[in-house]
Amino acid sequence: MLERGEAPLLPTLPLPLLREGGQGDRLLNDLFLAGSIKYAIIMLNRRYAEMADELPNITLKAIGIVRNEIKEAPARRDWWVELISEIVIDSSLTEALDGLEEFSHIIVLYWMHQAASGKVPTKVHPMGRQELPLVGLFATRAPYRPNPIGKATVRLLQRQGNILRVEGLDAIDGTPVIDIKPYLPGYDAPTNAKVAPWITEYC
């Protein structure tokens, strides 16, 4: 046990010892009890840095596919607004759609399979417009992302078996669909939402 006020040497602990319940947690507890909060924070930062190197790989399986007349995204921004698409869901999941037809709108999560691969930039000009400020990738809707997941709220026109006919889906023909959720106005539309100044100024 460390005495209060003692400045301990900081050992480099392997990641298993820094996990919850290990020797690392007991050391952190001792540091806090000894009043060495500064050193405890250093240890926590070291823990998080090492854990980031062990982020797990995940595997996704598409639940369906988008069918429409668009083979390549047009240059104009609003090409999808009135576009009618069909989402063909895996037939083994047909029963999972029961009740969805009672909603006017649904949320579609999909994989942007034609987004450029390779190194993903951490800073971008939104919508590729140079007059817009250079901001972090995650502060934009740019399609080039570490995981190119798209999200759209669309009008559900019809459900027929395992096929959903929708309007306003900004996904091209052949896009894999990851998930479908009903749109809930009170849940999916928060009040008093704030956006970055460049959105109200330029968009």
What does DSSP assign to residue 50? H
Residue 6 pLDDT: 43
CATH 2.40.40.20: does it fit domain 64-113+148-192? no
106 vs 103: CA distance, rounded Å? 7
The answer to whether the beta carbons of residues 52 and 26 sit under 8 Å apart is no
pTM greater than 0.75 (yes/no): no
Residue 107 pLDDT: 98
Distances (CA, A) of 170 to 51, 71, 97, 191: 36, 12, 21, 25
Q: In the predicted model, is pLDDT for residue 89 greater than 60?
A: yes
Q: Can you tell me the mean pLDDT for 19-37? A: 53
For the chain, give the mean pLDDT. 81
pLDDT tens digits, 118-141: 788 899 998 888 889 999 999 998
CATH 2.40.30.70 range(s) for the chain read 64-113+148-192
Position 52 confidence tier, pLDDT thresholds 50, 70, 90: low
Q: In the predicted model, is pLDDT for residue 33 greater than 90?
A: no
Crossing angle (nearest 10°) for helices 23-33 and 37-52: 150
Count H helices, E strands: the chain?
5, 8
Which element (helix H / strand E) includes 165? strand 163-167
